[in-house]
């Protein structure tokens, strides 16, 4: 099973609103990720959590605030967003795969939340 | 600076023929490579991967080839089926710290398989 779930599927918010995106996986994966994807562009890494600790922040503006309450759940809190933040927000988790040459990690993505900021 | 590049934005192939999608990378620290398939408004779906110590990995209709000296990988789909029509992303992974990995995605290639 490689299912990552994300809610909501779609979100419309104003620039003064506060909202949260939620991501869940019950596969025991130890790392979870947030990506942002604009149309016709590749996913861009925002944050990485490893064992519930923030290990990578790709210089993301503070209006995006990640939270990892437990090993299965990852949130992204949104506040005072700009219209240019409208995008598909993807969550992923990863598991180790034993390969010749050492352990590697394979990422599995959720379906994404389509965010529109007005 | 795009560390992972897919130079063909689109590719059309006849059903039953081979589809070859290419990917180039610049960072020699990448040691694990993955291919994902993406339909519109959905998350990427993992297809196949390869470690940097291998030069080929096969899974059913999908084969990934890695040429480390050229910093080039390719995904072969044989035979191509209309359901394979999607955007394909290659991704490269590097270890950031012990136990933390970073993934960089290419720009994607839109594959259209014609019936």
pLDDT attached to residue B40: 83
Mean residue pLDDT across chain A: 91
| Residues of A whose CB is below 8 A from B43 | 4, 6, 90, 92, 109-112
Q: What is the structure's pLDDT at A39?
A: 87
Q: What confidence category does residue A64 fall into, taking pLDDT thresholds of 50, 70 and 90?
A: very high
pLDDT of A2 > 70? The answer is no
pLDDT given at position A83: 96
DSSP A2-49: --EEEE-SEEEE-TT-EEEEEEEE-S--SEEEEEEE-TTS--EEEEEE
In this predicted model, what pLDDT tens digit does every residue of A30-47 receive, in sequence order?
A: 899 999 999 888 999 999
Other CB atoms within 10 A of residue A46 CB: 20
Whether B100 sits inside 8 A of A104 (CB atoms) is no
Q: Do A101 and B51 touch (CB under 8 A)?
A: yes
| pLDDT average, residue stretch B80-109 | 90
d(CA B11, CA A78): 37
In the block, which residue shows the tokens 């240019």? A84
pLDDT, tens digit, 9 for 90 and up, residues A97-106: 665 556 677 8
* C-alpha distance across the termini of chain A, in Å: 37
Min Cα separation B43/chain A (Å): 4
B56 and chain A in contact, CB less than 8 A = no
């Amino acid at each position: 099973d490689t299912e990552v779930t994300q809610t909501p599927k779609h979100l419309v918010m104003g620039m003064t609103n506060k909202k949260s995106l939620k991501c869940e996986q019950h596969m025991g994966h130890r790392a979870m990720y947030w990506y942002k994807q604009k149309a016709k562009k590749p996913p861009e890494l925002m944050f990485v959590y490893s064992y519930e600790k923030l290990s990578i922040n790709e210089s993301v503006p503070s209006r995006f605030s990640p939270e990892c309450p437990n090993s299965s759940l990852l949130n992204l809190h949104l506040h005072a967003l700009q219209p240019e933040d409208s995008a598909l927000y993807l969550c992923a988790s990863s598991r180790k795969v034993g390969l010749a040459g050492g352990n590697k990690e394979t990422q599995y993505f959720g379906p994404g939340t389509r965010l529109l900021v007005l | 600076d795009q560390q992972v590049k897919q130079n063909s934005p689109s590719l059309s192939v006849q059903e039953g023929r081979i589809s070859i999608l290419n990917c180039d990378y610049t960072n020699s620290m990448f040691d694990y490579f993955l291919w994902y398939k993406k339909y519109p408004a959905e998350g990427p779906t993992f297809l196949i991967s390869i470690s940097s110590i291998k030069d080929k990995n096969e899974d059913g209709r999908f084969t990934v080839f890695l040429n480390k000296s050229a910093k080039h990988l390719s995904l072969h789909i044989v035979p191509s089926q209309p359901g394979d029509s999607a955007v394909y992303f290659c991704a490269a992974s590097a270890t950031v710290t012990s136990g933390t990995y970073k993934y960089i995605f290419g720009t994607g290639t839109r594959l259209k398989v014609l019936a």
